[in-house]
């Protein structure tokens, strides 16, 4: 039987630790970390994620300011809001939920977030730092989903160095930073994507396979090596019948689980870890400003 990487439990442990840390911070400094969450428009999945992030932040004692803007908001108005938050000492982390409406230039918006408040690690300065920094740099704002994947891998207590890691997907949010993190762990890293030739045979050589494609149950047993470790980043809602739907990952769990040594489930794998890492980044940003 494979080890099931219980993201819900591991994330809860991380949140419990953060809660204690924030209580101590409050005693010492009479302040608590603050997180500003900005959502533009009403993409259903974004609303679910924003709600979950806000709830989790409050649970650990982070002050949350929610800004829900209409879809038609002007880009300059959005940037003005971000500038105000950049200059507000009560705000230590700023998160702009993606995707943004097509009328808004995502790159310009992400660039306007102060790098030291960039709780998502999407600002170019943080992207660059991730690629050149030393392994355990506390000041790094690491993108939350790949960071969560790395923490799941660390739970296995195995030496990652030299392992053949394959990342499926090359997004700025997951695939690219994930590859950087694995490289930092001294894995041999390959990134594959929609244009890769022989994608299946490359994945089959992976000791560690990270699936972040966004296609429901795409990776089946023929893609995975016996004994591999699988991290499933996908969160896809599929219809079971006219009334019912369910969440599945990018990996066909029921088939793959019999072949692998460890696998993260969906739901309850990477998702909760992403949220816990956001809270970690916000707390780290606070500590860098007020404690360290």
Binding site for ligand GUN (CB under 6 A): 95-98, 120, 144-145, 173, 274
Whichever of 164 and 236 has its CB closer to ligand GUN, that residue is 236
Name the active-site residue from 15, 39, 97, 118.
97
- Distance CA(283)–CA(26), nearest Å, equals 12
Task: Collect all residues with Cβ–Cβ distance below 8 Å to 93 and sequence separation of at least 6.
Answer: 33, 34, 35, 36, 117, 118, 119, 278, 281, 282, 285, 286
Whether 66 sits among the annotated catalytic residues: the reply is no
- Chain-centre distance for alpha carbon 287: 21
Q: In whole angstroms, how close is the CB of 256 to ligand GUN at the nearest point? A: 24
Whether 53 sits among the annotated catalytic residues: the reply is yes
Query: Do residues 8 and 265 make contact, with C-beta atoms less than 8 angstroms apart?
Result: no
Q: In whole angstroms, how close is the CB of 231 to ligand GUN at the nearest point? A: 15
Whichever of 148 and 262 has its CB closer to ligand GUN, that residue is 148
CB neighbourhood size of 103 (10 A): 12
Q: In whole angstroms, how close is the CB of 49 to ligand GUN at the nearest point? A: 7
CB neighbourhood size of 227 (10 A): 11
Whichever of 37 and 252 has its CB closer to ligand GUN, that residue is 37
Q: In whole angstroms, how close is the CB of 250 to ligand GUN at the nearest point? A: 14
Whichever of 61 and 146 has its CB closer to ligand GUN, that residue is 146
Q: In whole angstroms, how close is the CB of 166 to ligand GUN at the nearest point? A: 21
Q: Which residue is nearest to ligand GUN (CB)?
A: 98
Name the active-site residue from 15, 39, 118, 120.
120
Whether 75 sits among the annotated catalytic residues: the reply is no
Angle, CA 102 vertex, CA 98 and CA 104 arms, to 5°:
75
Whichever of 43 and 158 has its CB closer to ligand GUN, that residue is 43
Active site residues per annotation: 53, 97, 120
């Amino acid at each position: 039987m494979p080890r099931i990487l219980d993201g819900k439990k591991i994330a809860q442990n991380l949140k419990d630790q953060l809660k204690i840390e924030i209580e101590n911070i409050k005693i010492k400094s009479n302040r608590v970390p603050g997180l500003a969450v900005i959502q533009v428009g009403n993409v259903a999945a974004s609303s679910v994620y924003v709600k979950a992030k806000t709830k989790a932040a409050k649970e650990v004692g982070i002050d949350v300011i929610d800004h829900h803007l209409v879809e038609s908001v002007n880009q300059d108005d959005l940037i003005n809001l971000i500038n105000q938050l950049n200059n507000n000492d009560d705000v230590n982390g700023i998160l702009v939920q993606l995707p943004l409406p097509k009328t808004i230039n995502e790159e310009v918006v992400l660039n306007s977030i102060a790098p030291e408040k960039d709780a998502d690690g999407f600002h170019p300065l943080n992207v660059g730092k991730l690629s050149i920094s030393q392994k355990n740099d506390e000041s790094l704002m690491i993108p939350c989903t790949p960071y969560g994947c790395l923490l799941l891998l660390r739970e296995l207590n195995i030496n990652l160095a030299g392992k053949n890691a394959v990342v499926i997907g090359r997004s700025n949010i997951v695939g690219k930073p994930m590859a950087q993190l694995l490289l930092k762990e001294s894995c041999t890293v390959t990134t594959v994507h929609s244009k890769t030739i022989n994608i299946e045979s490359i994945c089959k050589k992976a000791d560690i396979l990270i699936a972040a494609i966004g296609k429901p149950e795409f990776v089946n047993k023929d893609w995975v090596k016996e004994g591999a470790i699988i991290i499933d980043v996908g969160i896809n809602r599929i219809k079971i019948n006219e009334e019912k739907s369910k969440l599945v990952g990018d990996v066909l769990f029921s088939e793959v689980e019999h072949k692998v040594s460890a696998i993260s489930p969906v739901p309850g794998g990477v998702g909760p870890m992403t949220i816990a890492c956001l809270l970690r980044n916000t707390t780290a940003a606070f500590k860098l400003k007020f404690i360290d």
